[in-house]
Each structure stands twice: as structure tokens, then as C-alpha cells.
Amino acid sequence: MNEALAFEPYNFEDGLKERLKDRYPQSELFFHDVEKNNGVKLRALTIKKTDCNISPTIYIDEYSRHYEETHDMDEICQQISEMYEKYGNVEFDIDSVVNFERVKTKICAKLINREKNMSLLKYVPYREFLDLAVVYFISVEGIGNASVLIRDGLVDRWGVTEEELYSCAMQNTPLLFPENILPMSEVLKDMLSVEAMPEEAFAVIEDTIYVATNQSKIFGAAVLLYPRFLEHEAEALGRNFYIIPSSVHEVLIIPAEKIEQDADELLEMVKEVNTTQVSDEEVLSDNVYYYDREKNEVKALF
């Protein structure tokens, strides 16, 4: 009999907790829900050591689905243990967060969908940008792409305003997350082999679509906020352009003269891509934006 099937009387979380207790007998294990971007809720596991002041959040929805398919709890426990061992022993200086003078050079900004995050925005400082919201986070070094979302309680403790957060973020974000703009052809070459897509196909889109993000490719849509970013892009292109919100991590820039569809068709394309190709958590907007270089103005078309 497959040993993994011996756990059938348990639900997944009970079985997982029993197995992990054997590996981490001196730690507290608990499950909880985490609300992510756009109201997406994920189930999470925390393994908290008594002598450690930070514990990684391990999302378990994929593991749960894998268990339903394989009933292999040993494999799942091994994968979770490897992840925990990688990030669970990192020491974190709490004072570096609660002390504004120490943390202010790490405060950055990201763009999220305003309408889909109304419940979150009740508890975090933010400002409106088009139909989006600018929110702030602390970039944490040494723990992968870890970050701490800045909430009202922390701001109250610091005694600072949203304007001060924005000023810090506009200084820090371009430095910590430098912009990265490439023709779509270059991006596709990284993803596909020339055999999969003929070289002439790359040439066709060389001067048509540009991908704007940051070098980390995390929350890269925030490059739209960088000082003079839009102006510089208009100068480089020599024309007005559309901005297509690909995800919270990147946007597409398309010179206006290269667009054959009308705005309504563009909007339908964005909605379809968001529905079929982008995860719910990473959707930025179902809108289309337009930058007028003479007016130095960006606007939402819908």
C-alpha cells in the first residue's frame, strides 16, 4: 500500500501539519488566509521558530492541489522544508522598519488597481494615479524579493505624511528598481528560440511594441511614475503613444501611428488578455492609456 495514502483520513492541512511537526518539533505551525493584490485570497502556512523574529509565508494552494492529484505528502513536505530552510533562518532587524530614519531609503512605490483593492486601500496610505492607486512598500534586502506593505499603523508610528512617502518613493524606486525598456522582439527572443519563431517575425515587431518594466521585473508598471519617464519615452519615439497595462509587473508602449485598431478594440483586447492570460492577482487594469507629448499628459481613455 502506498504510504502516502495512509493519510487519507486527514484533510490536507491536518496531514501536512502532522508531518511537519516531526521535522520542526520546537516550532509553532499555523495556517491562515492572506489577502493579496486585487482581493485574491491565498491559503498560507507559517512555521515560527521561537528564536527567530521573522517567518516566511509559504503559500500552499498549489501544494493542496498537488496532494489531491498524487497523495504524496512526503514530496510536498520535502518541497516546503527546502523552501523554509532557504528563507526561514534569515534574521530581520525590526528596528530597521519601525525607525523611519533607517528605513526611508528603502521606501518604494507600486501601482495597483484602485477599484479591485478598495478594501485594502482603507488601511494603507495611497494616492490616485489615473484610475489606479499608488501604494508604498519597504524593499527588504537579503530575502529574495521580499517587501513589507506600508500600512496606516506604521505611518502613524513614523509620524509622516503620504506626501513624504511619495517623495521618498520617487527618489528610491528608480534607484533600487531601475527602468528597463526593450522592444518586444528582444523579450520574445529571451522566451523563444529562433527556430520557434522565424527571425523575420522578430523584425516585423522590432519598432512596434516596447515592454517597459524594471530590471527586477517585479511591480515594473511603476516605471510610469518615475520622474520624466513618459517625457523621455516620447522623446525617444518622437511621437505620442498608447500604454497597455500588461500586468502589475510591466506595461506595453505602442507608438500611436502603429495602432490600427480603434480605442474600443484595444480595450476589448486588454480585457480578453487579462481574463485569459494574466493571473487575477497580477491584473493591473482593464483600461487603455494615452500619452500626449505636446501636453505632457497621460490619460485613461475609458
Higher per-residue pLDDT: 8 or 1:
8
pLDDT at position 61: 97
Cα distance between residue 300 and residue 113, in whole Å: 13
Q: What is the mean pLDDT of the chain?
A: 89
pLDDT score of 18 more than 90: yes
pLDDT at position 197: 54
The CA–CA distances, whole Å, from 166 to 78, 99, 117, 161 equal: 42, 18, 19, 9
With cell 487594469, the residue in question is: 285
Find, among 112, 50, 59, the residue nearest to 84 by Cα: 59
Q: Dihedral angle at the C-alpha atoms of 67, 72, 75, 79, nearest 10 degrees?
A: 10
The CA–CA distances, whole Å, from 178 to 44, 104, 212 equal: 31, 18, 11
116-132: average pLDDT = 97
With cell 533562518, the residue in question is: 89
Q: What does the angle CA 22 – CA 27 – CA 32 come to, to the nearest 5 degrees? A: 100
Helix (H) or strand (E) holding 254: strand 250-255
Higher per-residue pLDDT: 86 or 90:
86
Max Cα–Cα distance, the chain, nearest Å:
73
The confidence band for 2, taking pLDDT boundaries of 50, 70 and 90, is very low
Cα distance between residue 208 and residue 228, in whole Å: 22
The confidence band for 126, taking pLDDT boundaries of 50, 70 and 90, is very high
1-19: average pLDDT = 71
pTM for the structure as a whole: 0.87
Residue 263 near residue 91 (C-beta atoms within 8 A): no
Residues 143-160 pLDDT 10s: 667 889 999 999 999 999
Residues 186-198 pLDDT 10s: 777 666 654 555 5
Query: What count of other Cβ atoms lies within 10 Å of the Cβ of residue 69?
Result: 7
Residue 259 near residue 266 (C-beta atoms within 8 A): yes
Q: Which three cell numbers stand for residue 236?
A: 525617444
pLDDT at position 140: 86
Q: What is the phi-psi region of residue 29: left when phi exceeds 0, alpha when psi lies from -120 to 50, beta otherwise?
A: beta
| Displacement of CA 210 from its chain's centroid (Å) | 20
The confidence band for 4, taking pLDDT boundaries of 50, 70 and 90, is very low
Phi, psi of 183 (to 5 degrees): -60, 145
Which is it for the CA torsion 251, 257, 258, 261, positive or negative?
Answer: positive
Residues 20-79 pLDDT 10s: 999 999 999 999 999 999 999 999 999 988 777 677 889 999 999 999 999 999 999 999
Cα distance between residue 39 and residue 32, in whole Å: 15
Residue 44 contacts by C-beta under 8 Å, 6 or more apart in sequence? 31, 32, 33, 34, 57, 58, 59, 60
Q: Which three cell numbers stand for residue 287?
A: 483600461
